[in-house]
Amino acid sequence: MVDSTAGSDTMENLIANFNYVIVVILMMIGLWAMLAQKNLIKKCIGMAIFQTGIILFFISIGAKNEAKVPILSKFVVENSSAIIVNDYANPLTQILMLTAIVVGVATLGVGLALAQKVYQQHSTFHEDEILENQRK
């Protein structure tokens, strides 16, 4: 008895918060790509997918129901006592994610530069061939 109610409760919870499920799926796809794909460029793409999954997580926890964009309109600027906090989406998580996106593209650039340098040495992007070349 206890098991079935706990099970259905979890299912309801899962469906109501399906944004977290999507985030975990995206993160796991990125992680799988970084570990299991043999091609270096695919690993870099997997890293970028992981990063966008994390950004989606932060943005989705900052979203509020029927909330507007966090930019104050002209009417509110003039009489600043008319600000209702729950009218605006959470700006703090968006700021952290702005930083995260830019740092992500910087990391992607460095990863691609390293991949190019590796290609210059071994003339392949495939991981197994690189390891074989190194062992010789």
Question: Which of 97, 96, 93, 105 has its CA nearest to residue 48?
Answer: 105
Rounded to a whole number of angstroms, the minimum distance from the CB of residue 4 to another protein is 16
Rounded to a whole number of angstroms, the minimum distance from the CB of residue 10 to another protein is 7
4 vs 65 by CB, closer to another protein: 65
5 vs 120 by CB, closer to another protein: 120
Rounded to a whole number of angstroms, the minimum distance from the CB of residue 56 to another protein is 7
On whether the CB atoms of residues 50 and 27 are closer than 8 A, the answer is yes
Looking at the DSSP assignment, which residues form a beta bridge with residue 39?
126
1 vs 61 by CB, closer to another protein: 61
Question: Which of 18, 15, 28 has its CA nearest to residue 54?
Answer: 28
Rounded to a whole number of angstroms, the minimum distance from the CB of residue 33 to another protein is 5
DSSP letter (8 states) at residue 68 = B
1 vs 75 by CB, closer to another protein: 75
Three-class secondary structure of residue 89 per DSSP: coil
